[in-house]
Amino acid sequence: MWRARSADRKEGRIGTAAAHPPRLECNKLQATRGAARLEPRLTAIKAGGDPRPILDDVTTAHWHLREAAEVARAQGVDPALGLDLDEVRTRARHHGPNELPTAPPRSLAALVAEQFRDLMILVLVGAALVSGVLGDWVDTLVIVLIVLLNALVGVVQAWRADRALLALRRLAAAQAVVLRGGRTHRVAAHELVPGDVVLLEAGNQVPADLRLIESVQLRVDESALTGESVTVGKQTAVPAGETGALGDRVNMAYKGTTATQGRARGLVVATGRSTELGRMAKLLAEGGWEPTPLQRRLSVFGKRLALAVLAICAVVFGVGLLRGEPPLLMLMTAVSLAVAAIPEALPAVVTVLLALGARRMVAVNALVRRLASVETLGSVTWVCSDKTGTLTQNRMRGEALVEADSGRWSAAQRGAPAASELLQAAAQCNDAQAAPGAGWEGDPTETALVELAALAGVDRTDLQRRWPRIAEEPFDATAKRMSTWHRGGAGEVVGYTKGAPEVVIPLCEALRAQAGARPLDRAHWLQLAEAMAAEGLRVLAFARRERDAPAAPGDTTGLQLLGLVGLIDPPRAEAAAAVRECRQAGITAAMITGDHPATARAIALRLGIVQDPGAAVLTGARLAAMDDAALAACVREVRVFARVDPLQKIRIVRALQAHGELVAMTGDGVNDAPALQRADIGVAMGRGGTDVAREASSLVLLDDNFATLAAAVREGRRIYDNIRKFVRYAMTGNSGEIGVIFLAPLVGLPLPLLPIHILWVNLVTDGLPGLALAAEPAERGVMQRPPRPPGESLFARGLWQHVLAIGLLLAGLCLGVQAWALAVGDTHWQTMVFTVLTLGQMAHVLAIRSETTPLWRLGLRSNLPLTLAVLLTFALQLATIYLPFLNPVFHTHPLTATELALCIALAALVWVAVEAEKAWRRRSAA
């Protein structure tokens, strides 16, 4: 119906019962007879009868397929009056509060307990206990301090992540306006029950799943639930055609979405867990956190190492007894060797590396919820990204227009479009309102049209003053068009119509040009509209006509086509660069969205996810027809998935994982949450994302910047490289220590080291130098190499060969200096073995900073913490040799200058050997 234009045009806003008596002005529902038929059942319920025959039906019916009157009957409510308070209390007892279950915050005790579930930590605790029983309190203290440091860092990081997410959830409590007993009430959203009549207006968040019974120009932003960036026009009639997708159910409004325009009434048909939002929560509850690749690798490493250490220590203890060594000494040696063989600094180094990585990520607005997820990003082989709000800006923008005289303008061109009547129509046939500060607010499509007109110099405020609106025909989801009428200063009346091209163009009688009307080739303009839609644009057609007075509702005679305007949710400026960097790193980027296939393909083409304009798009309908085997056969050939639902997103992730891919899933909506949790790493948006998505993720991008993902991949690869460097360093040193103790008796040499020597070497070498490896910068080309296979061992790519070879070399150098000193009668042989073993590991840690780049190219200043740690270790070793009060503690003797020079020279051979290995790697790679 036409509505007169007045200064108080917003009187339709829902407020009180007096301002809005309970009558239905648009799509009016006649439910009186239905309410009368329900009276016997309502009377029985009020008398204490069982409400479940009505209420259980609430959670099972397909409400969008049922007429509004039928829904009211099933709900047992008169829409003109709403539920009475007694009925509300009855239903509240049955259904519970309208809220989703949330996990209680983790207690401090739980956070601490989580830090002691790792096998390596438990082995260390056992080693500390054994050392304490044997009276070795120094080593016990060292191990305890390392374990506590690891636990402290992990607890602090988890606590900070929990607090940050709690702050994100502390928004104003949702409210709802309901009709109860014929009067309107404002209540907390969690108090709603099925059957409540809810009043919506622009700006409200939908508090429950509603079957609409009245809709006046209502448009709803459902992007958080469906992934659609365009708001959805709502109506009350049962939709025709396919209604499987939530976005097609135009007579429903779902919990968690937002009304952007108009007003409406709806019957609550689902609350809490029964809502579509609740279904997402159920999917999340059925999921669970999968261990990260790093956790799996460290777990396997810890188990194998524990068994190997126990076996070696048993052999050493047994061989020592057979040689006649004192049992207590051999027991102390075996325990010391066990402590030395276990890289107890590894958990601390891994935690520090991950914590430093998390700190770096916070600097670029990324919150790490699970420390191990930082490293996981360095392992991913596929990034499956949601489109709306993640790759795109989640706001519409005028992208192109076509008019009779000037041809097509595109945003890709330089400059602004020329002002024309087409843009005047876009500004006038528009309900966007000026925002309090600057810009415009309202439906994203309409704000985009006003901004496009302003870009061409069209002053909408001045235009409205000169051509005020005198009448309007609101947008109708069935007619797919809206019209406005404006009166000029001379009394002339002009009407503008906008709508879907397939609706407006056939209604037009001519083409409007500057010189006047021209013949209209409808087929040509329809083809233009289809071509623009194929580019991913949302296309609107505009027409005009002149009359003495506004036409009657539904009268479309005299329309002249002004042209077409194409809108798009534009890609983020930085997203294309991030996609390109991921591709260079060997990571496949794919788009998984609930949006239209043409739009998804167009955005993917712009971002470089696909290069072929005709690239295949797998839709949700086709995917639903596939079994798991068929999906697995084609999933790695597709880069764009459109019109998919949450369960299908999980199927896609699982199909990729079945091929051995390590999958990262990014998203911001409720519909993304189950897939975020099921993926190897979920990355949620913190600013525009939903709480559900953030709870399901391992990483939260606080600024919603997709480019941060590329930075996270780089950081993850750096962290894993540095973990491998520490394992290479620690295990090589440990194998050298084991070799010295194990091989000496076999070659007829006395026990070369005492337990205090082993524990000291273990302390000074695995301590500061090992931790300083956390500061090692990323190697050159870290983002130009392919991701490592998800199942790759920590010892892959030659690491275990390096550990054995260099460990044997170090052991051979120690035993060689021992044999030489004994042969020449040098009584300082044990001190020399002790010194070669310590300094050899310092030479080794400097050489392994890169697997290919020589030390002289890296420079000692590129990792100052490591350089300082090596110098400090060297000074401490000299202190054990040359400070008299330490000689009896460590059973050492001052070395002569010649003896010290020999020890330094032998240790330097380790550095030479590693640099030779790196040179061989460079030649092999070339």
pLDDT one-digit tens code per residue, 899-921: 999 999 999 999 999 999 999 98
Contacts of 311 (CB under 8 A, 6+ apart): none
Predicted pLDDT of residue 33: 34
Assess contact for 797 and 599: CB atoms under 8 A. Answer: no
Backbone angles phi, psi at 161, to 5 degrees: -65, -45
pLDDT at 603 over 70: yes
Interatomic CA distance for residues 291 and 266, integer angstroms: 44
pLDDT at 815 over 90: yes
CATH topology of 104-172+278-394+570-730 equal to that of 397-568? no
Least-confidence region, from 442-451, 568-577, 756-765: 756-765
3-state DSSP assignment of residue 836:
helix
Mean pLDDT of 415-443: 86
Q: Which long-range contacts (CB under 8 A, 24 or more apart) does 149-155 make?
A: 149/348, 149/351, 150/115, 150/121, 150/347, 150/348, 150/351, 151/112, 151/115, 151/116, 153/348, 153/351, 153/352, 153/355, 154/111, 154/114, 154/115, 154/351, 154/371, 155/108, 155/111, 155/112, 155/115
Mean pLDDT of 463-490: 88
Angle at 181 (CA atoms; ends 175, 187), nearest 5 degrees? 10
CATH code reported for the domain at 397-568: 3.40.1110.10
Task: Give the pairing of strands 433-434 and 440-441.
Answer: antiparallel
* Bigger pLDDT: 907 vs 775: 907
Least-confidence region, from 559-568, 612-621, 870-879: 612-621
pLDDT at 120 over 70: no
Interatomic CA distance for residues 396 and 398, integer angstroms: 7
Predicted pLDDT of residue 157: 54
Average pLDDT, the chain: 80
Backbone angles phi, psi at 538, to 5 degrees: -90, 115
Predicted pLDDT of residue 171: 36
Q: Which long-range contacts (CB under 8 A, 24 or more apart) does 871-874 make?
A: 872/768, 873/764, 873/765, 873/768, 873/769, 873/838, 873/842, 874/839, 874/842
Predicted pLDDT of residue 441: 82
| Each residue's pLDDT tens digit, 165-193 | 454 444 334 678 899 988 888 888 889 99
Angle between helices 864-882 and 829-847 (to 10 degrees): 180
Find the largest Cα–Cα distance for the chain. Answer: 122
* Bigger pLDDT: 676 vs 241: 676
Using alpha carbons, select from 406, 448, 423 the residue that is nearest to residue 567: 448
* Bigger pLDDT: 751 vs 194: 194
Please tell me the chain's helix, strand, coil percentages from 3-state DSSP, rounded to the nearest 5.
50, 15, 35
Q: How confident is the model at residue 893 (pLDDT cuts 50, 70, 90)?
A: very high
Interatomic CA distance for residues 643 and 343, integer angstroms: 50
3-state DSSP assignment of residue 887:
helix
* Bigger pLDDT: 30 vs 114: 114
| Residue 714, both tokens | 């780089």
Q: Give kind and range of the element (H or E) at residue 681.
A: strand 681-685
| Residue 684, both tokens | 């949620």
Backbone angles phi, psi at 748, to 5 degrees: 85, 20
Buried b (16+ CB within 10 A) or exposed e, 765-783: bbbbbbbbbbbbeebeebb
* Bigger pLDDT: 295 vs 666: 666
CATH architecture of 104-172+278-394+570-730: 3-Layer(aba) Sandwich (3.40)
Mean pLDDT of 837-854: 92
Assess contact for 142 and 345: CB atoms under 8 A. Answer: no
pLDDT at 426 over 90: yes
Interatomic CA distance for residues 275 and 675, integer angstroms: 19
Assess contact for 667 and 676: CB atoms under 8 A. Answer: yes
pLDDT at 361 over 50: yes
Interatomic CA distance for residues 211 and 266, integer angstroms: 5
What's the sign of the alpha-carbon dihedral 48, 49, 50, 56?
A: negative
Q: How confident is the model at residue 15 (pLDDT cuts 50, 70, 90)?
A: very low
Q: How confident is the model at residue 305 (pLDDT cuts 50, 70, 90)?
A: confident
Predicted pLDDT of residue 12: 30
Angle at 187 (CA atoms; ends 185, 191), nearest 5 degrees? 125
| Each residue's pLDDT tens digit, 242-252 | 556 777 788 99
In CATH terms, the fold of domain 3-95+193-270 is 2.70.150
Q: How confident is the model at residue 840 (pLDDT cuts 50, 70, 90)?
A: very high
Least-confidence region, from 87-91, 289-293, 537-541, 761-765: 289-293
* Bigger pLDDT: 667 vs 463: 463
- Length of the chain equals 926
Interatomic CA distance for residues 334 and 327, integer angstroms: 10
What are the distances in angstroms from CA 84 to CA 80, 178, 196, 373?
12, 11, 9, 51
Q: How confident is the model at residue 689 (pLDDT cuts 50, 70, 90)?
A: low
Interatomic CA distance for residues 445 and 230, integer angstroms: 7
Least-confidence region, from 6-15, 383-392, 680-689, 706-715: 6-15
Contacts of 233 (CB under 8 A, 6+ apart): 218, 219, 250, 475, 477
Interatomic CA distance for residues 291 and 491, integer angstroms: 73
Spans of all domains in the chain: 3-95+193-270, 104-172+278-394+570-730, 397-568
Predicted pLDDT of residue 726: 84
3-state DSSP assignment of residue 772:
helix
Predicted pLDDT of residue 875: 94
* Bigger pLDDT: 753 vs 11: 753
Predicted pLDDT of residue 281: 63
Contacts of 789 (CB under 8 A, 6+ apart): 660
Check residue 253 and report its DSSP letter. Answer: E
| Each residue's pLDDT tens digit, 31-76 | 333 333 334 333 343 344 443 333 333 444 588 888 888 999 988 9
Predicted pLDDT of residue 61: 54
Predicted pLDDT of residue 758: 77
Q: How confident is the model at residue 30 (pLDDT cuts 50, 70, 90)?
A: very low
| Residue 563, both tokens | 């042209």
Q: Measured in Å, how far apart are the chain's first and last C-alpha atoms?
A: 77
Which is the catalytic residue, given 78, 139, 196, 386? 386
Assess contact for 746 and 818: CB atoms under 8 A. Answer: no
CA 742 to chain CA centroid, nearest Å? 50
Using alpha carbons, select from 861, 868, 863, 852 the residue that is nearest to residue 914: 852
Using alpha carbons, select from 646, 678, 880 the residue that is nearest to residue 763: 880
Instruction: Based on the residue annotation, tell me whether 521 is a catalytic residue of this protein.
Output: no
